[in-house]
Amino acid sequence: MNDQRKKTRAPLDVYVNKYVGGVPYTARTSDISEDGMRLAKLIEPKSSKRKVGLQFQLPGSEEIIYAEGEIVRDWASPQTHVEGSGIRFTLLSERHRKMIGAYVAQAAGH
C-alpha cells in the first residue's frame, strides 16, 4: 500500500469488528493514524459497500472505540494471499480521536 496518508501512523496489531451492511466481520489491523487504519480481511464476503462501522480497543485501554469509515483503497499481497482495505475515518468522537492521537504519538516516540 502506498504511503498516501498525511498523518503519522503507528503499528497496531489488534482484531477489529468491521461492520459491512450491518453485519459484523472480524478484521486485523496493521497500522493506525488519526485519519484511519489499514485492515486485513480474515473471513469476509466480497462487497461493493464502501462504508463500514468499526469497533476496536487500543493496547492498554479497556475502552471500546466506535468509528465509521470509508474504504478508500483495497490491497492484496501476492506473497501471503492476504487482502485488505485502507479505511479513512468519517465519524469518530473527539475523545476517541485524541486517544488514537496519543497512542500514535507514544508509539512513534513523539
pLDDT digit string (tens) for 62-87?
Answer: 999 999 999 999 888 888 788 899 99
Looking at the domain assignment, is residue 46 inside a domain?
Answer: yes
- What's the number of domains the chain is made of? 1
Looking at the domain assignment, is residue 104 inside a domain?
Answer: no
Looking at the domain assignment, is residue 101 inside a domain?
Answer: no
Domain that holds residue 51: 10-91
Looking at the domain assignment, is residue 74 inside a domain?
Answer: yes
9 C-beta neighbours (distance < 10 Å), count? 19
Whole-number average pLDDT of the chain:
90
The one-letter amino acid at 57: Q
Cell of 67: 468509528
Paired with 16 in beta bridges are 27
What is each CA distance from 41 to 78, 91, 101, 104, in whole angstroms? 14, 21, 24, 22
Confidence grade of residue 1 (pLDDT, cut at 50, 70, 90): very low
CA distance 95 to 77: 34
CATH number of the domain encompassing residue 70: 2.40.10.220
Looking at the domain assignment, is residue 102 inside a domain?
Answer: no
Instruction: Look at residue 4 in the predicted model and tell me its pLDDT.
Output: 54
Looking at the domain assignment, is residue 1 inside a domain?
Answer: no
